[in-house]
């Protein structure tokens, strides 16, 4: 499977600041990337889908101005949490999928804590 690197693995930030999370596909051309959010003991909640070179498609209820997604290349996507608040504290995970592929490969996740 693909090797997906997510950085940072954990971050603590002050309320009101912005945080950028990177997702890199190290050995795989990721034409589609997905960003998920996971609360403790809950399943993964899809936030948005992004295709390389296109604007991200956000799931219902996800604020696109708060969670900025950029899929700049076939190997890099970023999620920026703008003006973070304590309720944004969560585990954020990216996954990648190649052209024509159905399997999705996941990064190791980023634990965001907003204080």
The residues that touch other proteins, with contacts defined as CB under 8 A, are 1, 4, 6, 31-32, 34, 41-44, 46, 49, 51, 91, 93, 95, 97-109, 111
Nearer to other proteins, 82 or 91 (CB): 91
DSSP 87: G
Tokens matching residue 34: 């997905």
d(CA 48, CA 83): 19
Torsion of CA 99, 75, 92, 78, to 10 degrees: -120
Give me the least distance between CB of 71 and other proteins, in Å please.
Answer: 12
Give me the least distance between CB of 10 and other proteins, in Å please.
Answer: 9
Residues paired with residue 36 on neighbouring β-strands, in sequence order: 46, 93
Give me the least distance between CB of 112 and other proteins, in Å please.
Answer: 13
Torsion of CA 55, 113, 23, 57, to 10 degrees: -20
Nearer to other proteins, 17 or 108 (CB): 108
Nearer to other proteins, 64 or 83 (CB): 64
């Amino acid at each position: 499977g693909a090797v997906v690197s997510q950085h940072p693995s954990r971050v603590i930030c002050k309320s009101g600041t912005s945080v950028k999370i990177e997702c890199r596909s190290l050995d795989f051309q990721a034409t589609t990337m997905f960003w998920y959010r996971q609360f403790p003991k809950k399943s993964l909640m899809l936030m948005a889908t992004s295709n390389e070179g296109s604007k991200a498609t956000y799931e219902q209820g996800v604020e696109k101005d708060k969670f900025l997604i950029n899929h700049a290349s076939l190997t890099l996507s970023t999620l920026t949490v703008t003006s973070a608040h304590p309720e944004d504290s969560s585990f954020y995970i990216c996954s990648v999928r190649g052209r024509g592929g159905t399997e999705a490969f996941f990064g190791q996740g980023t634990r965001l804590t907003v204080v």
